Amino acid sequence: MSGRHASSEVAVRVRRLEERLIAAGLTSDEQLDGIIGQVLSGSPANGARVVARAWVDPAFRERLQADANAALVELGLSMSAGPQPQRFTVLPNTAERHHVLVCTLCSCYPIALLGPSPSWYKSEAYRARVVREPRAVLEEFGLVLPADTEIVVHDTSAESRHMVLPLRPAGTDGLGEPELATLVTREGLIGTAAV
């Protein structure tokens, strides 16, 4: 299948599943709409808010690194996905160490903070290559790191999600949280870009 036909077939299957769940009394259209709205509102802007706060508030940054799940609550965010919250860690980049994320098994990803995952994140090529040759993959994204910068690849899972805390860009000392948040990209939160 390809094109519109594939999309409409998937939509039909999804709707059938939704109808079965509703008929079984497990959910309602309103609950499903709420979940979809919540997922779609989870954009890179949420992760960017977390990063901007960590850049301007050293105490928040410490709490974020000690217990990211608890620190998120301070900003009205959560990594809850069902009955049990996912373990969430924030990985701070430094001049000596750069973090990058991957899910080698499928495409586990912190949607609530980064929004829907990019298609390349789910690709088999990215998942296989970033583990074997992270420096080359990052260079393909346009991120050239000094040779002495260690690159650490973190594998996400259904139980454990991560987000990169990029280095604060030079020359941004006079900016407040809202302005800083606009500098943060989804790729920066994954680790395939500087910010």
Which sequence positions are flagged as catalytic?
A: 103, 106-108
Question: CA 184 to CA 15: how far, in whole Å?
Answer: 35
CA pair distance 13, 76, nearest whole angstrom: 34
Cβ distance 67 to 74 under 8 Å? no
CA 12 to chain centre: 29
CA proximity to 195, closest of 136, 172, 115: 172
> What is the helix (H) or strand (E) element at residue 122, kind and residue range?
helix 119-122
By the 8 A CB rule, do 68 and 90 touch?
Answer: yes
